[in-house]
Amino acid sequence: MKVLCSSDSFAKYSDAPVKKLEQHGFELVRIDSTLSGEALFAELKGAVAMITAFTPTDEDFFKHAPDMKIICKHGVGVDNIDLLQASAHHVYITNVPNANKHAVADHSFGMLIDVARKISFANEKTKKGEWPKVFSTDVYGKTLGILGLGSIGQQVALRSKGFNMTIKAYDPFPNQEFAKQNHIELCTLEEVLKESDFVSLHLPLLESTKSIINEEKLSMMKETAFLVNCSRGGLVDEDALYQALSKGILAGAAFDVFDVEPNKESRLFTLDNFVATSHVAGYTDGAINELGIQAVDNIIELLVHNSKPKNIVNQM
């Protein structure tokens, strides 16, 4: 049975996921992550499962994949997958919501510290021989606002406790017990933005959250505040963010994700108070290994054991 893989990071650090597939009679066929159109459709022939990161899967995709039974997102966000079309074609869509939560939370908090303390800025100048006197902002004891208190948002909150931060959070469906146990004040979106020194985004990208951080919302934040996004680029209006950063409406921002990726020519990259990485928050050895194993387990569960896989995200 043919399993397609368009995720560059699948089994990068260990061949255990590949061996597990082979032991259960599957043939793994790797394809380029940028493959699209007719070239992609040709590869879909005979494939019963797919492990993917960012490959767009729309109506045309499913029309050319008549044997497909399951698509496993090698990560969490499924905004590149048309869930309605998947359901219409009786294809299970699964993700792996907890495998990379520690990696992404680490990266998020690392970027928060980086942009506040101007570490990347100082590193660049120092390596050029300038030996700058860089004045920056404290993190310890400040107020952290978390937008999206899911598994990753919760882990960011736990890390902030080591910095004695006050935590405010917005989530449409908050985990009340977690918030209570960790002394997190649940607030409206506007309250979080107005009262936080740092705001970290951990919301899914939906129609309701597209550009949720726009010019109006950015203007609510303190001029001394910092915005961190390791969730989805589409959550933020990047043009409005550029204006806010360049005009001093916002002190700084650090992003691992962008509205269009790969992003190689953003105006944001010209700003000293903007830190960027290339959608790599979840790329650690431990996270990648766990992502791969869980994706493979879902394929085996459905196609070998004839049981429902875990973490189904579409209606079936």
Q: Are strands 166-170 and 47-52 parallel, antiparallel or unpaired?
A: unpaired
Active-site position among 59, 130, 223, 261: 261
Active-site position among 74, 107, 202, 279: 279
Our answer to whether residue 102 is catalytic in this structure is no
Distance CA 200, CA 115 (A): 12
Our answer to whether residue 107 is catalytic in this structure is no
Distance CA 301, CA 296 (A): 9
Distance CA 165, CA 139 (A): 8
User: Which residues, 6 or more positions from 305, have their beta carbon under 8 angstroms from its beta carbon?
Assistant: none
For residue 229, which of 146, 121, 124, 143 has the smallest C-alpha distance?
146
Active-site position among 107, 232, 238, 290: 232
Distance CA 211, CA 208 (A): 9
Please report, as a single letter, which amino acid is at residue 289: N
Whether the ω angle into residue 309 lies within 30 degrees of 0, i.e. cis, is no
3-state secondary structure of 67: coil
* Cα–Cα distances in angstroms (integers) from residue 30 to residues 41, 95, 124, in the given order: 14, 19, 37
Distance CA 78, CA 105 (A): 19
3-state secondary structure of 132: coil
Our answer to whether residue 261 is catalytic in this structure is yes
Where in the sequence numbering do the catalytic residues fall? 232, 261, 279
